[in-house]
Structure 1
Amino acid sequence: MRQTLLSFTSILSFGLLIGSSFAQTPSTTQKPITKASTTRTWQRDTVKNTDPSLNGQYKFMLSRTRTSADGYKMVAGYRLEQLWKSVEDTLRKERAERKNLQQKLTEQEKTVSYLKTEISGKDASLTENTNKVNEIRFLGIPFEKGTYNIIVWSVIGVLAIALIIVIARSGKSISEAKHRTQLYNEVADEYQAYKAKSVEKERKLARELQDERNKLDDLNGRR
């Protein structure tokens, strides 16, 4: 489109230059007769152009030219001015559209930058929560999940051995053993509940991160 406008501009400038040259060049021929002076009069015709595009206006202008006695094509000045005005209007419209597109592109770049910042924050939050899921605090002391499991099962083993010893030594210790078993079950239930909550929270953060990534992919696809 831009090359077409430049071509029309060059043609119009060339036409105006030729028109000015013919207007300023003194005539070296013989004194014009009445018939010759009559051919200089250019009356506006009533034919209307049906194609409003620049190419259509240009072809219509060429179709309405006249041929001089020397074989030159003559274009009416008012038609040349109309075409030039259409070219200027088109250029002005193209520049306005280009400016609007540039503004939209700038806004989209700001949005993408903001989304990248949000995703970075979500990634950091997800990493932090993942570390929290893999970490268990017992009596205010942080333990890794594997270490905590070893400790728990070690405690269970010790309790089981102690329970066997107590049962073997005295039947009176059975009630105490049941109490210890109940305590263990409570600890295990709390651990499972905490584990389930941590896993659910991790999944929720993962879904939010995926949603933000999908939004970023949509914006990149529109560009």
Structure 2
Amino acid sequence: MNKTIFLALIAFSFFISTSHAQEVSEETGSLNSGTISSQFDYLNKISNNFQEYKVVKKTNLDKIKSNVLDSLSVFEKDLQAVQQTVKDQQEKINQLESQVAGTQSELEEALEARDSFFFLGIPIHKNLYNTIMWTIVAGLLGAFLFFLYQFSRSHKVIKQARKNLEETVEEFEQHRKNTLDRERKLKRELVDALNGKSS
């Protein structure tokens, strides 16, 4: 795009200078100044006519040839300068593109480094790490709730077993008392029976 603008500016300035020189040469006319076109017009004007031909002086023809070659030389130099400028700008563009590519690569590496880290020598992305950590936390919470449930259930079972044991102990004590009472009663009866026989 810079090349196009630069060439357009050169063409525009050349056109302005040509039209301005043409206006000047049309008034005065000369082979020593003005544009090539105005010089050819002037040459045509000052040349003699012979039948349907124009007779041009050799000196005038040599002069206009020299002027054309000089103009071509100037244009070639301008063109070389433009080409060199375009070449320099293309090199700068290539350097900038290379720098942009390097910067983009560094940015991607920085983003990757920001979003990941090494865990036990293994590179892990932060999202994966968060997923693993939350999975472990959820697993530990599930295990805690399971053991809490098991503990509560075991506590109820133990409480019921203690209650049953206490009831069994009470029944056993009651049964023992009843048995002791029966033994005493039997011993009394036995003692009474033995006393009754001896008397």
How high is the TM-score relative to the length of structure 1? 0.43
Choose between structure 1 and 2: higher helix proportion: 2
Q: Which protein is bigger by CA-based radius of gyration?
A: 2
